[in-house]
Amino acid sequence: MKFKIAFMFLLVSMFLIYKFYSPQETNNSGSSNALNKGSEAGLKLLNNLSLGSQTKQFELCSNNLETLKTNDDYSTCVDSVLINENKRLLREQAKLVEPIYLAWIYFNWQEALLHLTSLKLELQDFLIKKIAYTVGQIDLQELLIWIDNSKLNNDIKAKLITAGYLSYMESRPETVLEEVSYLSNTSIKMAVIDNLLTQWGVQDTLEALSWIEQQPRPDMYMRLILPMLTALIDKDTSLAEETILLLDDSQIKYDAVAYFTQKLASDDIESSESWVLSLPGGPVRQAGLRRLVEVMATQRVELSRILDIILAENDLTLQGKLLTNLVATSPEKGLDALKEIIPTLSFPIAVRKSLLAALTKRLIAQNPDATKIWLNSLTPTEETSYAKRLAGENMLASSLSSSIEIANSMYSSKERILLIEAAFSFVKQQDEIDYNFLYRSLVLTESEITHLENHYND
């Protein structure tokens, strides 16, 4: 292991000697001594590297930036840090090289950005905002010309332009958006507007929303409102709550309420519950309740407490939807309790069918045989027949005999004949069609036999 480390160090050292003793380019305004000073900087860097300490390498680049005199000095400094710190998280690597880039852009920002945009994309994302933001403050127009003339892809161009404009969004957002609207490349223009609007929405959500409403086509920006609100929720909970409740009723508002409910619940489930229950009746309250039930289920809150919240609502249809959400999101251990409770609840038939169907699908995925036994224990009704039919259809491919057993346990009904037809259709798709097996296995009435013979023949 020590030999490998020594060998790697030797390679890096040779590379650095070559870099610093080879002819180097200088800043356009550099002096005739730049080459010698660059070599001296290279020697100083190499001497420090010989200490064999990753910390020393970083300290050299961050604390002795005045010794870097050429673009090669800067690029070598960045590269050495990234090579020797490659086991760190990308965010940490970015933090180490950021001061080098910030110094480099005052020397030659074009070369600094060119080097930065050659890094892996994930690392670029941590650096572009701060570095291009600073370049934009130095000379935004030159930055825009350079980006336009570069061979960078559109995604990176949009990120650089966005960062370059960001500092101006703080003082004159409407003017900035007007300027950006004149960018020649449509895809870049739309991406930059989206990015800047989202940023503005975090800084001043109401002003950003007002701007959107005043546009000739406000619908073009509706998709940005939810990202604005979610970012605002993460930044300022109180302001986010006030802003969300001021929105006109729309799907965007309902989605924002759901996200806000989840955000509160991640910190304090009681606060989230209190907030949702304080909302006025209607779609806004329903959006909050749906998300609250989901979060409470996944956080394994006591089932009786969740049921109390659901059954306290006066709307039976809403209760059914909330219970369906509960069935869909409950952990497996909670399904046993729901098996006992749901069949006893008094709902319209459509709601009961939906509930039993959702629960049956969850149970089959968990334990098909136990599900079959449970279904057979239920009182025969239209909704239990519906659930049995769904269970039988789900088992056709894995256990045809189980599907037949379920069909035989059902009383004569539309659901039973639909399951039997599904079994015949399944057999028809097999390489060897054998309807006789079904006729022998199924307990059929005369009318059912006649119906099947008219539709399924060998």
Tell me the average pLDDT across 5-10.
Answer: 46
Sequential DSSP letters for 192-241:
HHHHHHHHHHHH-HHHHHHHHHTSS-GGGGHHHHHHHHHHHHHH-HHHHH
- What per-residue confidence (pLDDT) applies to 450? 85
Angle between helices 71-84 and 2-21 (to 10 degrees): 170
Range with the poorest average pLDDT among 176-180, 213-217, 288-292:
213-217
Dihedral sign, Cα of residue 36, residue 39, residue 45, residue 47: negative
How many alpha carbons lie under 13 Å from residue 89 in its C-beta half-sphere?
A: 4
Distance (Å, whole) CA 92 – CA 123 = 10
Do residues 351 and 316 touch, judged by C-beta distance below 8 A?
yes
391-394, long-range: CB < 8 A, 24+ apart? 391/360, 391/364, 392/419, 392/422, 392/423, 393/419, 393/422, 394/361, 394/364
Residues in CB range of 392: below 8 A, 6 or more apart: 402, 403, 406, 407, 419, 422, 423
pLDDT tens-digit series, residues 120-177:
999 999 999 999 999 999 999 999 999 999 999 999 999 999 999 998 998 899 999 9
- What per-residue confidence (pLDDT) applies to 371? 87
Sequential DSSP letters for 247-275:
SPSSHHHHHHHHHHHHHHHHH-HHHHHHH
Between 67 and 136, where is the model more confident? 136
Distance (Å, whole) CA 37 – CA 162 = 36
Q: What is the mean pLDDT of the chain?
A: 82
pLDDT tens-digit series, residues 36-63:
333 344 434 434 433 344 455 555 566 6
- What per-residue confidence (pLDDT) applies to 59? 55
Q: Residue 320 pLDDT more than 80? A: yes
Q: Residue 31 pLDDT more than 70? A: no
- What per-residue confidence (pLDDT) applies to 60? 59
Q: Residue 180 pLDDT more than 70? A: yes
Percentage with pLDDT > 90 across the chain: 33
Tell me the average pLDDT across 209-229.
Answer: 82
What tokens were used for 35? 């080459």
Amino acid (one-letter) located at 6 = A
Do residues 105 and 134 touch, judged by C-beta distance below 8 A?
yes
Tell me the average pLDDT across 372-389.
Answer: 88
Amino acid (one-letter) located at 173 = P
- What per-residue confidence (pLDDT) applies to 32? 32
Tell me the average pLDDT across 59-84.
Answer: 83
Q: Domain ranges for the chain, please list them.
A: 53-167, 367-457
pTM greater than 0.85 (yes/no): no
Range with the poorest average pLDDT among 51-65, 97-111, 248-262, 435-449:
51-65
CA dihedral 339, 341, 342, 344 (to 10 degrees): 120
- What per-residue confidence (pLDDT) applies to 51? 36
Distance (Å, whole) CA 130 – CA 309 = 47
Distance (Å, whole) CA 327 – CA 314 = 20
Tell me the average pLDDT across 54-79.
Answer: 76
Distance (Å, whole) CA 451 – CA 421 = 10
Tell me the average pLDDT across 333-352.
Answer: 84
pLDDT bucket at 256, cuts 50 / 70 / 90: confident
Distance (Å, whole) CA 456 – CA 426 = 11
Helix (H) or strand (E) holding 97: helix 90-116
Distance (Å, whole) CA 306 – CA 277 = 13
Range with the poorest average pLDDT among 10-19, 298-307, 389-398:
10-19
Buried b (16+ CB within 10 A) or exposed e, 256-279: bbbbbbbbbbeeebeebbebbeeb
pLDDT bucket at 209, cuts 50 / 70 / 90: confident
- What per-residue confidence (pLDDT) applies to 159? 96
What tokens were used for 14? 């040779």
- What per-residue confidence (pLDDT) applies to 124? 94
Buried b (16+ CB within 10 A) or exposed e, 27-41: eeebeeebbebbbeb
- What per-residue confidence (pLDDT) applies to 38? 36
Tell me the average pLDDT across 271-278.
Answer: 94
Distance (Å, whole) CA 26 – CA 238 = 53
Tell me the average pLDDT across 323-331.
Answer: 87
Range with the poorest average pLDDT among 70-74, 295-299, 451-455:
451-455
Distance (Å, whole) CA 140 – CA 204 = 24
CA–CA–CA angle 304, 307, 313 (5° rounding): 145
- What per-residue confidence (pLDDT) applies to 22? 41
